[in-house]
Chain A
Amino acid sequence: MSAQVDSLPVAWLRRLGSMSLFFVQVCARSFSALAKPGLIVRQIYNAGARSLVIVMLSGLFVGMVLGLLGFDTLQRFGSEDSLGVLAALGMLKVLGPVLTALLFAGRAGTSLTSEIGLMKSTDQLTAMQMMAVDPLRHVIAPRFLGGIVAMPLLAATFSVIGLFGAQLIGVQQMGVDAGAFWSQTQNAVDLRDVTEGIVKSLVFGVACSLIAVYEGYHSEPTPEGVGLATTRTVVTSSVMVLLLNYLLTAAFLTKS
């Protein structure tokens, strides 16, 4: 009832509070969910392995575009040899984590939400409760943890394939010297850059997985409700990834 009369900021605040409580509940169950690693491995496969093709293809094309545009821009200043640095840093620090997270939200996130939503609408979650099994521990926590593990692995794959795509265009097609491409990349990229990418993808993994399982678990148990929840997962995850990306980028720049 109160949700109907709430203004938009209040409704968002209420939602944020509900999601925070849900996050705490899921985290509390995650420790006991670790006792059944088989469930988590299955979810890593569902969220990770099944997203691998789309992530690799996207990484390749993004890397190729980066190679084309980077070469076009850098050659104006006679520094096309730095294409590898541009591609590697761009992929590792921003494009890899952000685009993978957006793809993750669209592929794995929607799949998680609709799966949990359908489990709810077909009484599977209630049946678990009736069998004295906690669905948060048995269904939600493994999916949440699976997403967190899968996300950095997918982002790393995206970055590596993207760098390969940039190299394919820059070196093979545009004639950038292969030695210069790789040696400058090796000199410019340090552990801190890699860490930034890993931290970002981990944070995005937590955010996207949490939003996906939250929306599924709290969806209306109707076809329309599941559809709306799936849409909310994509929209909320995308906005959250871009917001978090800005905050994390600013934090890493301040720290350096």
Chain B
Amino acid sequence: MLSFAAFQHPGRRERLSDFPSKDANPSPAPAGDAVIEVRDAHYSIGGRKIFDGLDITARRGRITAFMGPSGTGKTTLLRLITGQSTADSGSVKAWGQEVSRLSSPELFSLRRRMGMLFQNGALLTDEDVYENVAFPLRAHTKLPESLIRQLVLTKLQAVGLRGAARLMPSELSGGMARRVALARAIVMDPDLLIYDEPFVGLDPISMGVICRLIKQLNDALGITSIVVSHDVQELSTIADDSFLLSGGRVVAKGTPAELHESKLPEVRQFMEGLADGPVPFHYPAPDLVKDLLEDEA
């Protein structure tokens, strides 16, 4: 059983990320109910349009899912939200702050309120599990070693890997690595947790564990979660709000149930996993017969 007793203290709002750190900036004031607001965002890479007027909102305390076929820019959207990339035009706001206008220290200050789980875990390969989870604490706080130990072990206990504290990342399975990365993402008690394709390459048991962890962490910590994935079944069980991205825009939004009932062809194709539809099965190519005959000639 997953245990979250350590997190469940009602009304808790004091977080490690709020504590004054070595180079801290004051945390920005919350902006109403929206934690992340993307308005009319346009973004291109090498002349290829990724977003063409994207509108998205992630609200406080909810699990928001960004879904869509591969190559629709789901991970790129996370890069815009976290300030790793800048939109060509439009607005990307986090807690009411325009991300693209932040200076480097302001951006780092903003990121201290976020935790991110990468597709592959992105654990530091030359550090063991314990040191990986302790890494943000050592970087941003001057907590005594005994307190760091307590925090690290508590977070590892929450993801069920306290016993693996001294293992190296190379000794972990994919699912374990992602749980360690999750422990590291929550160790600073962020306000927003971002999951980039958390279910990719996991067996059904690990997938179920990660799924439950996302839901329980969100509820126990009272945080906001953004999950990027194309795993419809898993997301349907945990997401409060869903956005389906296609062609650089949001083609459908609502609860997972509303998306399931949608009659839009893009939504139907994605939700039912149809091979052909608005997203074509075939990559653009000349006529097959003509192509074959040309080859013979």
Residue numbers of A with Cβ under 8 A of B are: 1, 118-119, 122-124, 126-127, 129-134, 138
Contact = CB atoms under 8 A, between A and B. Distances in A.
Given A126-B84, A138-B139, A132 B112 contact: yes
Given A126-B84, A126-B118, A131 B125 contact: no
B82 interface: yes
Given A122-B125, A132-B109, A127 B139 contact: no
B200 interface: no
Contacts of B184: 131
A150 B201 CA distance: 42
B125 A127 contact: no
A151 to B, nearest CB: 22
Interface string B98-117: 00000000001101101010
A123 B109 CA distance: 20
Contacts, number: 48
Given A132-B111, A133-B136, A123 B120 contact: yes
Contacts of B109: 132
B137 to A, nearest CB: 10
B6 interface: no
Given A122-B122, A123-B120, A124-B124, A133 B82 contact: no
Interface of B: 46, 82, 84, 108-109, 111-112, 114, 116, 118-120, 122-125, 135-136, 139-140, 181, 184, 188
Contacts of B123: 124
5 contacts: A122-B125, A123-B119, A127-B118, A131-B184, A132-B139
A119 B84 contact: no
Given A122-B122, A133-B136, A127 B116 contact: yes
A1 to B, nearest CB: 8
B255 to A, nearest CB: 29
Given A123-B120, A127-B116, A127-B118, 15 more contacts: A119-B124, A119-B125, A123-B122, A124-B122, A127-B124, A129-B84, A129-B111, A130-B111, A130-B116, A131-B111, A131-B136, A132-B111, A132-B136, A132-B140, A138-B139
Given A126-B84, A127-B118, A132 B108 contact: yes
Contacts of B114: 130
Nearest to B194: A130
B82 A130 contact: yes
Contacts of B84: 126, 129
B82 A131 contact: no
A127 B122 contact: yes
A138 B181 CA distance: 19
B139 A122 contact: no
A124 B82 contact: no
Nearest to B139: A133
B195 to A, nearest CB: 12
A119 B119 CA distance: 14
Contacts of A138: 139
Contacts of B124: 119, 124, 127
Nearest to A127: B122
